[in-house]
Amino acid sequence: MANRKNTVDEKVEKYINDLFADVGPSQQLFDLKEELTTNIKEKVADYQSRGMEEEQAIKEAVISMGDLRGLVDDMRNIGQDTAKQAVYTSMTERVSIAGIIAGVLLILFGIFTVAMLFLMDIPRVSAAGSGIFIVAGTALITYSLLTKETSKKYAMNKIRAALYALAIGLIMFGIFSGITSGYATGEAYIAVAATMVFVLAGVGLFLFLILTGSNRYKNI
């Protein structure tokens, strides 16, 4: 089953790469190819689940996408227009930087608030509760870094980046839940149980994303 899936993935990716073979590289092209590849793979899987053979399923999936020549022409024009690429990159760059700054500020706010409350005469579980800002800040930084285009890598698809942020957020929330539940109950096994559920879910999602990821490196 795994070999069959790899074969389908390779054929779909080859079709998409051949379709845009003469188009200059750009972040917009990378995003579009990712979207088209995902859509075709989903359609192929749907056709195969109905009993269709692999080759026929791929053909039907491609046909169902309609005429893509208009998209190819649009991407070709963008690939030749460095001004459009610069505007797109500049816009996404500002959004990513804003997210990184906001994430760092959330983490620092969480750290300072937790430290301040621990020094006050209040229950530790209340003090540890402010650690949720650290969890949120870490997830936001993860998303912002992955959706930032660099000189060597294209920005990641926003949905996939959000899933990575969710994975990291689950792991961090598991640690947060373990600490707060440990302080609330005074029982170590409850803290471990609270941590385990979210960390396992986060690690599972993280590994899935890593193992199914595509190459984002630019051919410079």
Measured between alpha carbons, how far is 52 from 58 in angstroms, rounded to an integer?
A: 9
The pTM of the whole model exceeds 0.85: no
One-character DSSP codes across 43-106: HHHHHHHTT--HHHHHHHHHHHT---HHHHHHHHHHHH-HHHHHHHHHHHHHHHHHHHHHHHHH
Residue 96 has pLDDT above 80, yes or no: yes
User: Helix or strand or coil: residue 153?
Assistant: strand
d(CA 112, CA 127) in angstroms, rounded, equals 11
pLDDT digits (tens, 9 = 90+) for 207-217: 999 988 888 88
**Is residue 88's pLDDT more than 80?**
no
- What is the pLDDT averaged over residues 118-126? 83
Condensed to tens digits (0 to 9), the pLDDT of residues 14-60 reads: 999 999 988 888 888 888 998 999 999 999 999 999 999 999 999 99
- pLDDT over 70 (residue 85): no
Per-residue model confidence (pLDDT) at position 199:
97
Residues 6+ apart with CB under 8 A from 56: 47
How confident is residue 142, by pLDDT bands cut at 50, 70 and 90? very high
Tell me the C-alpha distance between 9 and 21, whole Å.
18
Q: Between these two residues, 130 and 25, which has the higher pLDDT value?
A: 130
The answer to whether residue 181 scores a pLDDT higher than 80 is: yes
At 128, the pLDDT band (50, 70, 90 cuts) reads: confident
Binned at pLDDT 50, 70 and 90, residue 144 comes out as: very high
Q: Is 166's pLDDT higher than 80?
A: yes
- Rounded to whole angstroms, the Cα distance separating 216 from 145 reads 13
- What mean pLDDT is predicted for residues 129-148? 95
Partners of residue 217 on adjacent β-strands = 153
Q: Band the pLDDT of 3: cuts 50, 70, 90.
A: low
Distances (CA, A) of 212 to 6, 29, 40, 45, 47: 11, 20, 15, 15, 21
CA 7 to chain centre: 24
Q: Domain map of the chain by residue range? A: 2-80, 91-211
d(CA 218, CA 132): 36
